[in-house]
Every structure is written in structure tokens, then in C-alpha cells.
Structure 1
């Protein structure tokens, strides 16, 4: 049996009731300024930013890139001619009514 989906209205009611219960139990709500919770000692937390190491030099490898590109897209001259595939053609009678399909090369 599937559970009924909770709607936004139900979620709002539930949160409102939880807040009311908290306040009735002598709980106190503190005011926090917008953006304050993301600050550490009044500054943004920069320990998680990944720019602590200096930029590394990269070794150019154009021959490797060229080999990969060639494998992805071989030149047209290497592909060769495409084989002729048989095609389906409808045969009609003298009155234009379809009779049957035939394969032509």
C-alpha cells in the first residue's frame, strides 16, 4: 500500500505545530541575522575552498590529443565506400492499388 504524498500545506501545518509545542514548553527562539550562520568569527569559512595550492604547470600533449581525436573521428578516406543496401519498394497494380513489397538492390 502506498503512503499518501505529503503536500506543502501539510508540511507547513506540521512545522507550525512543532514550533508551537516548542514555545509552549518554554522554549526560546533566538534571532539570527541573515547570512550570519555561514560565517566563522565574522568571516566566511575559507578552509573548504580548494585554492590553497599554487597553480601547477601542465605538460602539453598535442600528439596524445590528436591520437584520441583520430580514433573518435577517422578521416573519410579510411572509411571506404558504403555498401549498397537493399531497399524496399512497393509494387502497384494497374489501378494504383498496392500489391506487395519487393527488395531492390
Structure 2
């Protein structure tokens, strides 16, 4: 049996009931200021931010881009050749409309 998908409404109700159970068991909810939980010793935790290295100079590649653009525009347009006709499968019927056999027709 397939379990029905849980909706946002179901998830909200479940979370509310869990919070209510926590409060009924004399649990307390501590209010914190916005962004305070991300602070370490009153400062933002910067060890995970990747801006520690100095800025690196970039290598200009304008000549490479120009060469690619030139190759792209110098290609001749594809020639439109007539597509080869593929043989088709046709069914032969007898006088009474019953199928007899398949025949390949060009």
C-alpha cells in the first residue's frame, strides 16, 4: 500500500502538536534575537567563509574568445540534401478484408 504524501498542513499540525506536548511537560522556549544563534562568542563564525585568500589576478583570454567566435562564424551553413526515403511497411488484404501479409513499399 502506498503511503499518502504529507502536505504542508499536516506537517504544521504535527509541529504544533509537538510544541504543545513540550510546553505541557513544563518545557520552556527561550527567545533569542534574530541572528544571535549564528554568533560564536558574540561574533560571526568566519572560519567557513572562503574569502581568506587575497584576490588573484585573472588571465585575459580575449584572443581565445576571438578565435572561437571566428571559427563559429566561418563555418559554412549545412547543405540541405534530400532525405533518403525509407521503405514503408504496407499490409495486403484479401478480398474479404482479412490481412494476408506485410510488404515493403518504397
Same fold (TM over 0.5): yes
Change (3 A) 1:24 1:83: closer
Taking only aligned residues, the RMSD between alpha carbons, in angstroms, comes to: 2.6
Partner residue in 1 for 2:90? none
The C-alpha deviation readout for 1:12-59, integer Å capped at 9, x for no partner, is: 221111112212323221111122112222222222222211111222
Using the size of structure 1 for normalisation, the TM-score is: 0.59
Unaligned runs of 5+ in 1: 87-105
Which residue of 76, 79, 82 maps to 1:82?
79
- How many aligned positions are there? 83
The 4+ residue runs of structure 1 with deviation greater than 6 A are: none
Using the size of structure 2 for normalisation, the TM-score is: 0.59
